[in-house]
Structure 1
């Protein structure tokens, strides 16, 4: 079977990859349907999933929004084990990583690429409705879940700012009334060993618990083309402990303690080509001219000797209290505290040179409190009214080494020595207050109206600078500042910068610690209607506006002006959609939308006289997105489930926007598409479980996905193009008919397709972040109950 699948994938190359990938999936589905044409219809349908996308329990088909949801069984059968896997199953969703390894989630072209530890996402992640404020804290969240909900489009009224792209809700599996548990063990390529499980049950008549843990360990999957050393090992341990207490019929208390320990390696980028930032200094870096381009192999890379294992950990505590005021109204308090610590070294150029290595140390501390009242005021009117408070503190310390880059020689023309290192200090204290309300009014049996509004006030206090860390950089920049002051400005020289001092200077070349404050407020809103034109066939239309908060950049800067904040962005969305269950076994969802952007935040380039071209967040005055998506779920026979997704995203900057491209060339980017926003995404999945005896079922599954060409950064440089690619995954297994155990064999990226998810420039070189190579393994799950 594997050889056949590889040949199918190879045959796709000369033609449309996406169509071919989906054809493989549909061919497998057709074969499964033919083999089981006498079977009874499936009892499982996506429309039976209950979701909390609007902060109350509703059937998936009753939610007048574009929502993709997966129950626990679907997550297990499709091998959806992290947010990375959602890209193969959610229309319009993409996953990439920034140059420092921070996850970037994009929905319908709305994403946020930032290198700051305190960078806010546009696709927010929640665990049991409690916010996980920063995407770097979301690793390990896919543990023992009841379901996952992905909401597309602005979610500002119920989920707050920083959800202009959408929201991902991770719903943990809850404590059970009887004692039960599960154990999962797996082994795969690169000696990957996975071990996890849960235990759950009652402690007393009013108190229940659930404990889940998971360990993921693997050897390095990357190799150095010059030394043969490996990189990319996995070492991630995650856990969750739940308590559910019901001391009275009207009172429910839920405690969620969760976290992870991440000691995995940071991925090394793959070198593409050299382009010296300062060609006149290239002779000082002899190895730069002899760098060898690695083969087009996902595993091939290069890096300096060192320990690239993360020393990162995250802990979150969520306390939810629900009290029924009466039969109609419930008062809910949701308190959340989280702490994240980071210490990691990264080779950012993907070469054996020390072009740029960076150690990032820091921590994030967050507290959030929500208080709301929700319920039916009348038989026709459901309301939610509440308030939010959040306090986030980020502390970031960076030490960089660029000793084998041309940038180190920036000031030798002034008679100054090279500088080989720099440090960053970036602190942000962000306080947010919000009031919100949402109402649904059932005007007739078929027509329902919705309206929501949220007022948000935020205050961001920033302290930071670029600084000396070795005693040499301070001397070099003292000489540079004195040169500008005395020769250019005609001012007297200043006292030397002390060791460890700030080198960032104002317009008069006075070095200083930058302090700044950004105060913003906004009003998010949503108005919509849905109409049931037949049983289980609904059309809806929404118009909404959401905001993403502004913030401060993380970059090496000689000028205080480079630490000016990026302002908040706004997105006004117009969407119409269809949700139709044409039978119990066939579900079709479709949506079209238009997004109108103001001040969109994009990662662009600014020129620094000392550090050259730097990544910095910029505000794009005007831009828009037009798009459409289609989802189908079909269960033609018992045990056979077929899903398909298609997404079209056409993004464009629609007003003059002059900035620099990664080569330092000033250009007007009017008319260009957003980075990391492929125009087409297609995916499909087939899962067929068929009895082979009275006690044994066989399982066959396949998934395929396609992503069209996009660009990692503005400028349309060929070096930053992310080529289109298609991936095929296969799985086969056996299971007990009572679902007591399951053994699965799986293979991902069957054709060992070479692909990469992003590209960037690091001072003197261009490089890429490659995707995972072919992986395969076995997974065994055993469920027990006394």
Structure 2
């Protein structure tokens, strides 16, 4: 059984490239036969036993340093042969860092940022291109794929690592290589596949804060042509932060998942793989720590913050009193992969269906006072279908890939906010709508008159319901033309059509307890006596757009795009390659889920890059570097708008488009210094600025930095001590650094950096991880010790200003403390 596995390009160039790819595929069958014979003769004439042995040793050393086989270009290649800036995260690296998902190790991939504080609403960014938009009306520019299947941006984008083979991080537009557009880059996760060898192993980790982690794999041949693979992972912990009032633990882990795969080597050399994956997450939401001073009740905090009086959230008590607070996800994925060889190439069909349901309810103000209470909820349900057909072939003239894809996502989202009538009184008072409030004074008046009614302490909920039906169809091709033994020209093009049907619907606010009291007052004629109509208490205060109240409003839009890619690579020697590329990235337009009728234009990225990939066998040194220039159009910015954009003085988040540009450089080096010592280093520099952008408040940020840090880097070492109790001790030390936020004129409102705070906000971050493990080829078990965040450094992640100007409170988040644990592995 085999193992499963700055100028704009003109329209004429695009059409020529596509025509060339089509012509090549049409003549591929004849060329394939000729090349097979020719390549066999050439190899027989030039290869010798000594050369083969030397090459094998060189390849083995290079592979140990990261020159592994990847499928970045939809074809199997060594990573050093791929003219794309990319980094590969191996299963061994994941294990040594004890990382449970990509957000736990993104600092070790310079240029990549993964915010996983909310695993059901993660945010990915590559080379400064990303979006914090939590609405379903837009796509993410960083494409996340698992075994070739697009995962969207929420439900399946940040799953736990489960039986992972490798993670490929491809930087720059990748539209001609994947089934979906990936304007910023792609993160391709490849899991282990069924094989014809029996395999069974289990691992257990125990650590501080009640950490309990286990995973396991069973791979079993079921016959001559059938194999089954089962994997599971279970991640539990008690949490490292506790509510000062209730004792509830936050930052707990309660997540488990499983994957089952059947592989069949069908007649005719056809390979069929059917996989089902399930994950269930249910844990407390991220914690928001109040940092603004709150006076004793009933005095209200000022809505004009004095930042010099703020409390360092690393030392402040946590109060998160959100009713029913939790973050949960139920995820299922079904994938059918069929591969069949043809006379002129290989055919692949990839069919998938995904469904998931996410729920995230969290407090936003960081207090335990009901008169300051505010929480919000994000609820999503998605059903996604996709179909991709791909043909790939190789001739003496070129290697080629052509594909067609279809994608449909039916998503429903509810954006919900929750108050109590006490906090609505605070809101009405601070906005000057009802000085002193409404429900409190009315309650006092009723009780003074002898009526024992209270309008305080009643929950108040408002919802915005959205539905998004997104369809995307595309055809694409990518051809590597072998101009001579050293020079290759890669040409690719993608034609895409995107369609979206989007709707907004706002039901009336939900306040059942309040309504029951109001009905009693109405029946007694008290409201009429007071001259206050009951409708005064029944109106929405946040989701107030008239045309969507109690009936849906919908829009539909479609967009077409052609995106080309051109790469030239040249081998100075068999192990040193220079390359230069130009590509266009495209992301479909969309809609603002919270602002009715708002349509975003498509975003585009024009990328120009040059680099080197090299392997110096004599020194056992692998070195890669690249420089690039990006030009963005209509890149979305998630911003907190203080005037609320039509909702009175209530703040809200909006997506505002901007034009940006970036210049950057990156390098990575891996060196086998001695037989026992291996060193690695990588760094990224980026200078990203707005070329044209004005905020909703009218602040012109053109020419100013976007906030992205300029530098990020990682450095590490592995050292092996042999002959210890019949085995080896493997020590790993890895450190990472991210520079400080580059502030601009709008940074204070967005809570990204402030110089007047008594604690550091937006400063540089550093992290160090350590692992030591013992293993032996003679025994089936191994043990290890790991420490993440060795120096126990915690950082403030940003201010949450969403209710600062209306309730007078501000909150913040912090990074995790030191985590340590021991682990044991057993191979059955």
TM-score normalised per structure 1: 0.83
Matching of residues 408-427 of structure 1 within 5 Å: 408-409=428-429, 410=431, 412-413=433-434, 417=438, 420-427=460-467
Matching of residues 72-111 of structure 1 within 5 Å: 72-97=91-116, 102-111=121-130
Q: Counterpart of 1:645?
A: 682
- In structure 2, distance between residues paired with 1:366 and 1:633: 40
Q: Counterpart of 1:613?
A: 651
Asked whether 1:142 is paired with 2:177, we answer no
Contact between 1:232 and 1:266, CA under 8 Å: does it hold in 2? yes
The residue matched to 2:593 in structure 1 has which SS?
coil
- In structure 1, distance between residues paired with 2:771 and 2:797: 24
The residue matched to 2:94 in structure 1 has which SS?
helix
The residue matched to 1:159 in structure 2 has which SS?
coil
Matching of residues 41-440 of structure 1 within 5 Å: 44-97=63-116, 102-117=121-136, 119-159=138-178, 162-273=181-292, 295-297=312-314, 301-304=318-321, 306-326=323-343, 328-353=344-369, 354-376=372-394, 378-403=395-420, 404=423, 406-409=426-429, 410=431, 412-413=433-434, 417=438, 420-440=460-480
Contact between 1:298 and 1:771, CA under 8 Å: does it hold in 2? no
CA shift digits 1:46-81 (9 cap, x unpaired): 354000001111011110101111332233234343
Contact between 1:468 and 1:500, CA under 8 Å: does it hold in 2? yes
- In structure 1, distance between residues paired with 2:699 and 2:96: 48
**Stretch of structure 1 that moved more, 103-112 or 497-506:** 497-506
CA shift digits 1:461-519 (9 cap, x unpaired): 111134323259999xxxxxxxxxxxxxxxxx9x9998999964359x98753211121
Asked whether 1:654 is paired with 2:698, we answer no
Q: Counterpart of 1:602?
A: 637
Asked whether 1:632 is paired with 2:632, we answer no
Asked whether 1:547 is paired with 2:581, we answer no
- In structure 2, distance between residues paired with 1:748 and 1:503: 43
- In structure 2, distance between residues paired with 1:101 and 1:298: 28
Q: Counterpart of 2:705?
A: 673
Contact between 1:449 and 1:528, CA under 8 Å: does it hold in 2? yes
Contact between 1:436 and 1:452, CA under 8 Å: does it hold in 2? yes
The residue matched to 1:612 in structure 2 has which SS?
coil
Q: Counterpart of 1:580?
A: 614
- Deviation at residue 629 of structure 1 after TM alignment: 0.5
CA 1:612/1:683 → structure 2, altered by over 3 Å: closer, same or farther?
A: same
- In structure 2, distance between residues paired with 1:574 and 1:156: 15
- In structure 1, distance between residues paired with 2:593 and 2:574: 53
Contact between 1:502 and 1:513, CA under 8 Å: does it hold in 2? no
- In structure 1, distance between residues paired with 2:277 and 2:321: 35
- In structure 2, distance between residues paired with 1:336 and 1:611: 45
Contact between 1:760 and 1:766, CA under 8 Å: does it hold in 2? yes
Contact between 1:587 and 1:633, CA under 8 Å: does it hold in 2? yes
Contact between 2:143 and 2:180, CA under 8 Å: does it hold in 1? no
Q: Counterpart of 1:469?
A: 509
Asked whether 1:697 is paired with 2:728, we answer yes
- In structure 1, distance between residues paired with 2:79 and 2:236: 36
- In structure 2, distance between residues paired with 1:729 and 1:511: 53
- Deviation at residue 525 of structure 1 after TM alignment: 1.5
- Deviation at residue 382 of structure 1 after TM alignment: 1.5
- In structure 2, distance between residues paired with 1:613 and 1:437: 46
Unaligned runs of 5+ in 1: 1-40, 277-281, 476-492
Contact between 2:364 and 2:800, CA under 8 Å: does it hold in 1? no
**RMSD (Å) for aligned C-alpha atoms:** 3.3
- In structure 2, distance between residues paired with 1:386 and 1:467: 44
Contact between 1:225 and 1:294, CA under 8 Å: does it hold in 2? no
Contact between 2:362 and 2:375, CA under 8 Å: does it hold in 1? yes
Contact between 2:62 and 2:622, CA under 8 Å: does it hold in 1? no
CA 1:160/1:547 → structure 2, altered by over 3 Å: closer, same or farther?
A: farther
Give the structure with the higher percent strand. 1
Contact between 1:223 and 1:299, CA under 8 Å: does it hold in 2? no
The residue matched to 2:821 in structure 1 has which SS?
strand
- Deviation at residue 45 of structure 1 after TM alignment: 2.4
- In structure 2, distance between residues paired with 1:699 and 1:64: 33
Larger radius of gyration: 2
- Deviation at residue 762 of structure 1 after TM alignment: 1.9
The residue matched to 2:100 in structure 1 has which SS?
coil
TM-score normalised per structure 2: 0.79
- Deviation at residue 284 of structure 1 after TM alignment: 6.0
